[in-house]
Amino acid sequence: MLLLRAPAVYPAQGDTWLLTDVLAGETVAPGARVLDVCTGSGALAVAAARMGATDVTAIDISRRAVLSCWLNTRCRTLPVRVLRGDLLGPVAGEHFDLVLANPPYVPAAGDELPTRGAARCWDAGTDGRAVLDRLCVELPPALAPGGVLLMVFSALCGVERTVRRLEEAGLEASVVARRVEPFGPVMSARAGMLEARGLLAPGQRYEELVVVRGRAPAPA
């Protein structure tokens, strides 16, 4: 998929395509409400709309990402609402049948999150969970009865912790896909730091990406 992307916008790559593959296995009804959080260039929103979803919303905090997503959906004449804001802030009180999330999850040197530049696409605090933990709290209430959440992240951030938090929020949660990816430039530059923290074995230069699926209770 060829996507337009402004500078400092997250490029669609291994985690994007893993989540896209899982999305392809979901049933998306034409009237389903779909939300793509941390949309970046809009790859997942485009994929959902191409599957037939006619009510798709994409959100990102980056103005450049919002512009990129808007351009990529409009040039394909896809019915996607593109909003700028912090996670679910722009759609507070709304409910969705399917939520897609590819948030920042790379462990960083400190806990202060960047507010500009490319690092905002991936930096997620010292444990990589600054955004993941917020999503585990904010996303379950946004699911309609029987709604589904699909979220991709690195196993370095703690898979069981994510599953447990989603279950505590009332979802049925499990890992539905795994894929080993070689390090790109960002992870390669941080390999020494991650080894020192015990997150990587000595010399390890790959990570396992996972997709967790959460499902809200179906209507009674």
Render pLDDT for 86-115 as a digit per residue (tens, 0 to 9).
999 999 999 999 999 999 999 999 999 999
Whether the full predicted model's pTM is greater than 0.75, yes or no, is yes
Q: How far is 199 from 15, CA to CA, in rounded Å?
A: 19
Arithmetic mean of pLDDT, 185-192? 94
Structure confidence at residue 28 (pLDDT): 87
Structure confidence at residue 111 (pLDDT): 93
Instruction: Write the CATH number of the domain with boundaries 29-214.
Output: 3.40.50.150
Arithmetic mean of pLDDT, 28-45? 94
Structure confidence at residue 53 (pLDDT): 92
Pure H helices in 61-184: 63-74, 130-138, 159-168
What distance lies between CA 199 and its chain's CA centroid? Answer: 21
Determine what percent of the chain is predicted with pLDDT higher than 90: 93
Q: Are 56 and 81 in contact (CB under 8 A)?
A: yes
Render pLDDT for 60-77 as a digit per residue (tens, 0 to 9).
999 999 999 999 999 999
Pure H helices in 9-105: 14-24, 43-50, 63-74
Mean pLDDT of the chain: 95
Q: How far is 24 from 35, CA to CA, in rounded Å?
A: 15
**Structural domain spans, the chain:** 29-214
Examine the pLDDT at 220 and tell me if it is beyond 90. no
> Looking at the chain, which runs of residues are DSSP E strands?
33-37, 55-60, 80-84, 96-101, 143-154, 172-182, 206-215
Q: How far is 52 from 73, CA to CA, in rounded Å?
A: 14
8-state DSSP, 124:
-
Arithmetic mean of pLDDT, 48-55? 93
Of how many residues is the chain composed?
A: 220
